[in-house]
Amino acid sequence: MNIIVTGTLGYDTITVHNGRIADRIMPDKIHQISLSFLVDTISDHFGGTAGNIAYTLKLLHTDPLIVSVAGHDFDRYAKHLQNVGISREKITIIKNKRTGHYHVINDLDNNQIGSFEIGASSFADTLILPHPKNREENFVVIAPTVPEAMKKYVDKCRQEKWRYLFDPAFQTGSFSGAELKKYIDGAEILVGNDYEIALIEEKTKWSHQELIQSTAITITTLGGKGARIETKKEAIEIPPAKPKKVVDPTGAGDCFRAGFLAGYLRGFDLQICGQMGSVAAVYTVEKMGTQTHEFTIDEFKKRYEENFETPLTL
């Protein structure tokens, strides 16, 4: 299986506010927000949606091919990818730009406020998805990056009849209702958190049932409450796996996607795939950073069985 992972590559600067963001927000002043937070810790890590998803796919013995862009400061990240065995063949370096950079504040409730410096990602729409040797064995992950690039990737998948997962995430608001309808209709899997799924319904004017009927699989991630996987015939509630401790929620959604896909592309049933996503997600929330967690296949299987009381064959 050739798994192409699009999206961003970037450096993450993660800070922790020892309080609650909600305590600083006045609902009647939402139109003129001006906030500043004292933070207790700050750390730098490797990140980006493509990098995060590919990293956990690799831990689960699934070989991803990253199609993305990076800047002149990518050397450290490139060595990291080399060390974990992820190909850099389809990563384009833009020499006069910095690699993207994500700045985020986390609070005690695991809420986040972040911003992403686009940097080299502004050139993502110049990339061309590689042709597989066997079209039927191609699967493309369209993770959030600049909207024009996402549109181009979806159009290519639809034209070539490639299977793809559509993950608009924080770019959901950048697409028109008509565009969302078009891209979801051609997707094998749609994924988003509960806010993003609600926003899709608002922009498309679809009811939830109409959304479910528009694609084969719809996944709604629910943070610490797990996830819901819906098809035209059933709805599967996925309970959360139990973290040993919660350190940093950054990247949990990316890990869930990787865990789900590592099962899905092996042909596992959706319940198992979702539970694999839940287990993958807790590994990253236990560590600061999105690519700092590690596990062996045996450790992952043991963690799965501890949480769901059934064995996992990998």
The CATH number for 82's domain is 3.40.1190.20
Residue at 314 is within a domain: no
Which pLDDT belongs to residue 1?
58
- Count structural domains, the chain: 1
pTM recorded for the entire structure: 0.93
Q: What is the mean pLDDT of residues 48-57?
A: 97
d(C-alpha 314, C-alpha 301), whole Å: 8
Q: How many CB atoms lie within 10 A of CB 312?
A: 18
Q: Which domain holds residue 134?
A: 2-308
> Residue type for 18, please?
N
Angle, vertex CA 123, rays to CA 185 and CA 288, nearest 5: 80
C-alpha distances out from residue 197 to 3, 172, 260, Å: 25, 9, 18
pLDDT at 23 over 80: yes
- Domain-embedded: residue 87: yes
Residue 214 reports pLDDT greater than 80: yes
Q: Mean pLDDT throughout 271-285?
A: 97
C-alpha closest to that of 198 among 168, 224, 178: 168
pLDDT level of residue 228 (50, 70, 90 thresholds) = very high
Flag whether 55 is in a domain.
Answer: yes
**CA pair distance 261, 60, nearest whole angstrom:** 10
> Residue 217: which pLDDT band, with cuts at 50, 70 and 90?
very high
d(CA 170, CA 305): 33
Place of tokens 């793809």: 164
User: What confidence score (pLDDT) does residue 133 get?
Assistant: 63
Share of the chain above pLDDT 90, in %: 81
**Cα separation of 215 and 126, whole Å?**
28
Residues in the chain: 314
- Contacts of residue 170, Cβ cutoff 8 Å, sequence gap at least 6: 144, 196
Q: What is the pLDDT of residue 56?
A: 98
Any domain includes 178:
yes
| pLDDT > 90? residue 98 | yes
pLDDT tens per residue across span 107-155: 888 788 889 999 999 999 999 999 876 656 689 999 999 999 999 999 9
In a domain, 41, yes or no: yes
Q: Is 313 contained in some domain?
A: no
Name the more confident of 230 and 137. Answer: 230
User: 36 in a domain, yes or no?
Assistant: yes
pLDDT, tens only, 170-205: 899 999 999 999 999 999 999 999 999 999 999 999
List residues bridging with 217 in a β-sheet.
189
Instruction: Average the pLDDT over 20-30 and give the result.
Output: 85
For residue 34, tell me if it sits in a domain: yes
